[in-house]
Chains A and B, each alone.
Chain A
Amino acid sequence: MDQCRGGRVLTAGSSISVAFLRHRSCGWLENSALFFSATDGFRTDLSGKRSWLVASLLALGLFLLGGVTNLYAQTESQPPTVHYNQEPGVPPDTACRLCHGDKDETLALPSGETLDLGVDLTVLQDSVHGQHSATPLYCTDCHQSRERYLYPHAPTPVQSLAEFVDEVEQNCTQCHQPLALHNPGHLQAEDTTNLPGCTDCHGGHDATSAAIMKAEPIATCQSCHATYADERVAAAHEEIVANLGPEQSCLTCHGDQQTTANQQCKTCHGLLQSQLTLASGDQVDLHVDGTLIDESVHGFREIQGTAYMPLQCTDCHKDQQQYGFPHPQLTTDTRRNLTLEMESICQECHQDIYQRQHDGIHGVKQAEGELSAATCFDCHGNHAIHDPDDPRERVSHTCGNCHGEINEQYAQSVHGAALIGEDNPDVPVCTDCHGVHDISDPRTAAFRVNSPTLCGGCHADKVLMAKYDISTDVFETYVADFHGTTVTLFERQSPDQETNKAVCYDCHGVHNILPATDEHSQVIKDNLLTTCRQCHPDASANFPDSWTSHFQPSREHNPLVYWVNLFYTILIPTVVGGFALFIGTDLYRRLWERRS
């Protein structure tokens, strides 16, 4: 018959079978039902009295046998664990299939819903629990309540479809782990009204294997989660789903295991590739490579024997109002303002440095409204923070990001060339002269009058300068000279007052310092007059010679000065010694006269 959906399966011929099902959890046998099993011809011959009688007797006999067996089973603690089929090769739920496989009726439930009584046996057969699977189930494995599913079925007590499903789903745990362990995410949802049961995801009669589900996981989830209340969450999910890798699915974030906030942040922002557009039109990258942090100074580290774990996203992005999920709409208008707002994050751990930075020129300029003034991030980066002076050259590039022109000058200088070309460990990098966080304004009088001491820090260091065969007289001779004396006194006594006396960099250049032997050097003989005329516009051609060129006077260098000095070195003791001798003798005479 065309309408008999179970016909394809049940072609073994007209027979009556009694199913003895083994209860999987405790092993007792249950005579769950007596089914009629018949061929297509059965119905047509149903009026035949002989057949009916034979069938009835057989059924009765078997029923009784079943009852005895059942009694036996209940008295025995160790019942046989085998399927009992009266006719080997015929499934025990043949009767269920026969009836429900060919039904299009529905059962009206008190809730007003209707329960479809038909079962698509093809679907059932192809399901993960189907007869072709490794673990075939019979109808009564799931619909196992003796009272309910014993034929003829008692009226169902369930009030609604949900209750019916719940009841059936109770049985899933016989083989599978409880829902609470398997899918904590759903159970922890705040809104508990629409929680899915096992069958909502895995299907009922069409239960899908986990492997297939994993192959098409998104579709499974999207059967419920097709839309989102928050349109930004929807957009984010759309993008994330589109960017999921081969090993990733909804479960990457919403898996069985409870994920930390850190993992959630990293997964989501690792998958996001788009930009967030701020009110000003500025765009902010949403993508964050989570590995950057682990590899950064905030990653796995061992400091003095103590191993440190990487910072968590939420260690910095701490404010739940702002960083809790779903994130509130960002109200910051520009990218720069976003950077500025975030700067205070660093303060929590780096309070001291943060304060110094804010006392420094960048902080002061920022307070004055100069938004481009460097923040922590501008120099250190954000997620990929690495040691700022490893290699030392890095410092120069960091500062050069904003101070490009100056950095270019520096790169050409004797210091910069040695740093960038040779990775020289001794030449000053930006921070050696300007300081690190509390960088002072180099345009102030204080910086200027202090600068010779700054240069002297290296150029008066005999050990250091010996490596490069540079005279350390430069500092002493400068201080001994008119310019240097004045500047040094200013430095000591009135550091905030401007002086017009030259400091090192007035002659040697600021960032573009060249070796004094370089043909372009401002201080080489040919260029010295021009250099002097910066401050002494009327300087004569001989005027530069009045500068002792950092040489201590000697017979070779500045001989006239040497001879004058020598003259007075001899004259003064001679004259004063002569006076003292005469005074001494006079005193002697007086003392002698007084005594005698």
Chain B
Amino acid sequence: MSEKAQTYRRFDRWQRIEHGLLILSFTVLTLTGLPQKYSMTYWGSALIWLFGGIEVTRLIHRGAAILLMLETIYHAVAVSYKVLVRRVRLTMLPSWRDIVDGFHAMAYNVRLAKTPPRMGRYTFGEKVEYWAVIWGTVIMILTGFMLWNPIATTTFFPGQWIPAAKAAHSGEALLAVLSIVTWHVYNVHLKHFNRSMFTGAISHHEMQTEHAAELAELDAGHQPAPIATAVLQRRQRIFYPVAIVLSLVLLVALYLFVTIEQTAITTVPRQQVEVFTPQTPEASP
């Protein structure tokens, strides 16, 4: 295999499935969420109508939210496993170097620097995206809970948190969607189509241009030290029960999230008034 044709593994199958779930939930949330934010616009109400009305749109939105939360729980467990059991390098953690890389890249773009920054496994741009998703999802889940369960929320918090949560949910959503259509779409689709999230691997050329530092490390033979089986098993023995219990707690929390509150009755009570109460004798024929 020539060096040029060599590919580098980037995302395993589970990560790609996670990304797929994220695409699905995020898209559905966007399509059902933005029309709610812009419900009084023509396109907003048209989309709502296409989904079958505002109540159905809300149901779909909440369904997609459940999917996103399940994915979030899975991601937490999966990342915890890697970090706690496999003890992988925390390549996604932001660092000072990312800021330097960002300015370097900008300088390079405007021809103030001769060479582009040589970046590691995750570039500053990818970290921005990842942590934006994490931040955004946390915000959306928290504010979503408040909107979904306003009575439960106001039992402990001031009532004004509900409209504030709505404002935050709405603002954060717009921020997320705009980030995706600018940053994500440009970087992985327009600049060049990065297929690694579907194929799981990137080419040597891509490694050279985007992850030069990582390529150099690989070429230099830096490999994570293998973990002794005994050590791995010991860690797993601790991790699995804790993870299972925590996952169950999170799933119960999710279940409660969805079911804890019956916010409103389904049929609004009617004013009871006697309609026909004649005051004077009927009109003379």
Which chain A residues (556-596) contact chain B, with CB distance < 8 Å?
558-561, 563-565, 567-569, 571-572, 575-576, 579-580, 582-583, 585-586, 588-590, 592
Q: Among A378, A404, A545, A568, point to the contact of B160 (Cβ < 8 A).
A: A545
Q: How far is the CA of A278 from the CA of B37 in the complex (A)?
A: 66
| Contact present for A336 and B164 (CB under 8 Å) | no
- Residues in A neighbouring B40, C-beta threshold 8 A: 479, 485, 488
Q: How far is the CA of A336 from the CA of B277 in the complex (A)?
A: 16
| Contact present for B175 and A540 (CB under 8 Å) | no
What is the distance, in angstroms, from A476's C-beta to the closest C-beta of chain B? 10
What is the distance, in angstroms, from B149's C-beta to the closest C-beta of chain A? 11
| Contact present for A285 and B53 (CB under 8 Å) | no
Does residue A333 face the partner (Cβ distance < 8 Å to B)? Answer: no
Does residue B80 face the partner (Cβ distance < 8 Å to A)? Answer: no
Does residue A308 face the partner (Cβ distance < 8 Å to B)? Answer: no
| Contact present for B266 and A575 (CB under 8 Å) | no
Does residue A550 face the partner (Cβ distance < 8 Å to B)? Answer: no
Does residue B157 face the partner (Cβ distance < 8 Å to A)? Answer: yes
| Contact present for B261 and A538 (CB under 8 Å) | yes
- Residues in A neighbouring B265, C-beta threshold 8 A: 500, 535-537
- Residues in B neighbouring A546, C-beta threshold 8 A: 150, 154, 159-163
| Contact present for A378 and B282 (CB under 8 Å) | yes
Does residue A70 face the partner (Cβ distance < 8 Å to B)? Answer: no
Q: Among B39, B155, B268, point to the contact of A500 (Cβ < 8 A).
A: B268
| Contact present for A542 and B285 (CB under 8 Å) | no
Q: How far is the CA of A400 from the CA of B275 in the complex (A)?
A: 10
Does residue A403 face the partner (Cβ distance < 8 Å to B)? Answer: yes
What is the distance, in angstroms, from A14's C-beta to the closest C-beta of chain B? 78
Q: Among A400, A498, A505, A537, point to the contact of B279 (Cβ < 8 A).
A: A400
Smallest CB-CB separation from B110: which chain A residue? A585
| Contact present for B54 and A571 (CB under 8 Å) | no
Q: How far is the CA of A575 from the CA of B171 in the complex (A)?
A: 12
A336, A486, A511, most chain B CB atoms within 10 A: A486
Which chain B residues (227-285) contact chain A, with CB distance < 8 Å?
261-271, 273-280, 282-285
| Contact present for B268 and A571 (CB under 8 Å) | no
> Which size bracket describes the interface of B in this complex?
35 or more
- Residues in B neighbouring A567, C-beta threshold 8 A: 171
Q: Among A407, A490, A542, point to the contact of B159 (Cβ < 8 A).
A: A542
| Contact present for A542 and B277 (CB under 8 Å) | no
Interface bits A511-549 vs B (CB < 8 Å: 1, else 0): 100000000000000000000001111111111111110
Known: A401-B278, A489-B39, A543-B150. Is A284-B284 also a contact (CB below 8 A)?
Answer: yes
Does residue A335 face the partner (Cβ distance < 8 Å to B)? Answer: yes
Q: How far is the CA of A588 from the CA of B112 in the complex (A)?
A: 13
Q: Among A378, A490, A560, point to the contact of B161 (Cβ < 8 A).
A: A560
Q: How far is the CA of A585 from the CA of B139 in the complex (A)?
A: 31
Interface bits A342-374 vs B (CB < 8 Å: 1, else 0): 100000000000000000000000000000100
Which chain B residues (19-74) contact chain A, with CB distance < 8 Å?
36, 39-40, 45, 48-49, 53-55
**12 extra A-B contacts, CB within 8 A, seeds A543-B150, A568-B171:** A285-B284, A339-B285, A372-B276, A372-B282, A400-B279, A499-B55, A535-B265, A561-B160, A582-B106, A583-B183, A589-B108, A589-B109
**Which residues from chain A sit less than 8 Å from chain B, CB to CB?**
284-285, 335-336, 338-339, 342, 372, 375, 377-378, 381-382, 400-407, 409, 443, 479, 481-482, 485-486, 488-490, 492-494, 497-500, 502, 505-506, 509-511, 534-548, 553, 558-561, 563-565, 567-569, 571-572, 575-576, 579-580, 582-583, 585-586, 588-590, 592
Can you give 10 contacting A-B residue pairs, CB < 8 Å?
A400-B279, A405-B273, A406-B275, A505-B271, A536-B151, A542-B155, A546-B162, A558-B163, A572-B178, A588-B109
Per CB-CB distance, the 6 closest pairs between chain A and chain B, nearest first, are: A545-B159, A568-B171, A546-B162, A585-B109, A542-B154, A338-B285
